[in-house]
Amino acid sequence: MAANVIEFTDSNFDSEVLKSSQPVLVDFWAPWCGPCRMIAPLVEELAAEYAGSVKVGKVNVDDNQRTAMNYSVASIPTLIVFKGGRPVNQFVGVRPKAQLQEALDAAKA
């Protein structure tokens, strides 16, 4: 994992994401998923660009099925923006960087 990307798990999701004072971008992924590997560098870029204002992390759906099920993640990659402990935006599949930046900027406002 890149320096600014946090590994979210079933056990730390509540404290790291739901109780975060900052907006959080969560990337639901799996190591065997090709599109997940395609979007990983973009997620790492966003983590670096938004360091200090948005928390960015990943949930491996194979290892953390409870969290994936709680948010009805049926396809990966799924990216969800949380603010105040609630999902405020969700994207399925590879998306343009600008679209994700727009969602993060809105969550910071």
The bridge status of strand 55-60 relative to strand 24-29 is parallel
Q: DSSP assignment, residue 23?
A: -
pTM above 0.85, yes or no: yes
Q: Cα separation of 27 and 81, whole Å? A: 9
**Number of domains present in the structure of the chain:** 1
pLDDT for residue 3: 81
Q: Which residues are catalytic?
A: 33, 36
pLDDT for residue 1: 66
Per-residue pLDDT of the chain (109 residues; tens, 9 = 90+): 678 999 999 999 999 999 999 999 999 999 999 999 999 999 999 999 999 999 999 999 999 999 999 999 999 999 999 999 999 999 999 999 999 999 999 999 8
Report the side by side order of strands in the sheet with 5-8: 5-8, 55-60, 24-29, 78-83, 86-92
What domain range includes position 72?
5-108
Query: What are the backbone angles phi and psi of residue 27, rounded to the nearest 5°?
Result: -105, 110
CATH number of the domain to which 89 belongs: 3.40.30.10
pLDDT for residue 2: 73
